[in-house]
Structure 1
């Protein structure tokens, strides 16, 4: 590496660290009892949970849009949540951003022995296998414990959005042998669950209705898995299409949509679908 290249890299690294330190200082000032922001001072790790989730989803939306400015902005909003959580924790001597950064760095080094040590791997599958073994050891699990399927599935149920968690659970359960012999069996299960859901709607309480709805949705997720479809992406697309069609309806409507009859709304809906189809 040439001297000029090294100097440029060092200057870049210094500017990154300077920008991060400025963010840390700003967040610390916002949380300062003297001259800080009343709203920020009221926040706790628990009250900030919705913002962590919201900012993570906004990052995903920006990445889908492939808008580099939007991606950078939303990553900044998500980074703010990380720094803010660390700042609040540091105020009661739990941990600081230093421990957060050191922890993830050490974890990456531990879980990539094929990069930072002398372990040899042949492909990505072996990398994943090593990763799972190292992760189990980190959590104090024995080899036998690591094979308990229920422990893995519990993590997915607790940490992932329900639709994504359902797909993960379905995939892991199928890999362990909890699988239909053919897709016709899945469709039969769907029909069975649909009938039970209808029965619950007519004769059961809300708890039973929600339980049967959950069974129906989980079966539908299994159908998606059999056809190699992503239910989260599918629902995301449907939400977008619905909003696009609604927007088209509103651009041609001469009064609030609530003033239209159901038949009139259906006509506007079909017109909106046709217009959007031509625009593609």
Structure 2
């Protein structure tokens, strides 16, 4: 089925021309004749850290609201897509065209309310349809879904730990593995906190790690109950910590290591007050 809405033809042509130029540049970088030794040395696996790093930098740019930075970081991330596709093409595996065509077909297939004639009444129905289509794509029947453990096993493998934990928590709750009220979640948190403190009194590092994990898992569940994003929360804390550290360094001459703990705490509170958080 064809898409009924198209952007301005001149803009479309400009986009296609720019993408074609990028593909040519990457192809030259990967060319055995006159290409870049670094690019020629790369493999899909060696580029994994760059894919992750660029994705995080896109997020940081979006959060900053700096349009110039967003354009630049999206370009860096797009480069990783094109480079992965070029390496695959060099190995006669797949091409960028297949990547683009595949995602276009998927979007059309998963939006029958837009590209078909399926009526929908609300976002919840759209979500149910999306999940049903995904299951059908995997050869799964809505009447005989796979075990929950199988459905969620991909999260720890594919996602950052905090996001994976939130996804696991959401899927488990949707399947009925949920507390009756927020007081029960808080009780579980205090239970896990006591178990972690008890583990710290031992010399068993593996046990300490396990109890710390249980405590963090429960804390993520608390965040879910309060409709908070734990990844955004810790990212915000990291950002505020750096801001306060910068402010402290503005208040002193020399290194922070030259000051006592009490002096550093006083400067920390002063920096916190000046920043307003």
Tell me the TM-score normalised to structure 1 length.
0.92
What's the counterpart of residue 104 of structure 1?
A: 103
Structure 1: gaps of 5 or more residues: 1-5
What's the counterpart of residue 187 of structure 1?
A: 186
What's the counterpart of residue 272 of structure 1?
A: 271
Aligned CA RMSD, in angstroms, stands at 1.7
CA distance in 1, matches of 2:219, 2:162: 10
What's the counterpart of residue 85 of structure 1?
A: 84
CA distance in 1, matches of 2:132, 2:242: 44
CA distance in 1, matches of 2:253, 2:84: 48
Q: Does 1:176 align with 2:175?
A: yes
CA distance in 1, matches of 2:226, 2:57: 28
Deviation at 1:188, TM superposition (A): 1.8
* Change beyond 3 A, Cα 1:40–1:141: same
CA distance in 1, matches of 2:62, 2:256: 33
What's the counterpart of residue 3 of structure 1?
A: none
What's the counterpart of residue 59 of structure 2?
A: 60
Deviation at 1:196, TM superposition (A): 1.9
1:26-175 alignment runs, 5 A limit = 26-146=25-145, 148-175=147-174
What's the counterpart of residue 15 of structure 2?
A: 16
CA distance in 2, matches of 1:38, 1:199: 54
Identify, as 1 or 2, the structure richer in helix: 1
* Change beyond 3 A, Cα 1:11–1:231: same
CA contact (8 A) 2:29 2:35 kept: yes
Show CA shifts across 1:223-277 (max 9, x none). Answer: 1122222211211111111111000001111111122221121111111111112
Q: Which moved more, 1:119-128 or 1:201-210?
A: 201-210
Deviation at 1:74, TM superposition (A): 0.9
Q: Which moved more, 1:174-183 or 1:202-211?
A: 202-211
CA distance in 2, matches of 1:118, 1:181: 40
Q: Which moved more, 1:147-156 or 1:231-240?
A: 147-156
What's the counterpart of residue 200 of structure 1?
A: 199
Q: Secondary structure at the match of 2:234?
A: helix
CA distance in 2, matches of 1:270, 1:176: 45
What's the counterpart of residue 260 of structure 2?
A: 261
Structure 2: gaps of 5 or more residues: 1-5
CA distance in 2, matches of 1:177, 1:61: 35
Deviation at 1:204, TM superposition (A): 4.4
Q: Secondary structure at the match of 2:153?
A: helix
What's the counterpart of residue 249 of structure 2?
A: 250
CA distance in 1, matches of 2:57, 2:31: 28
CA distance in 1, matches of 2:116, 2:174: 31
* Change beyond 3 A, Cα 1:276–1:16: same
CA contact (8 A) 2:140 2:146 kept: no
Q: Secondary structure at the match of 1:146?
A: coil
CA distance in 2, matches of 1:218, 1:53: 23
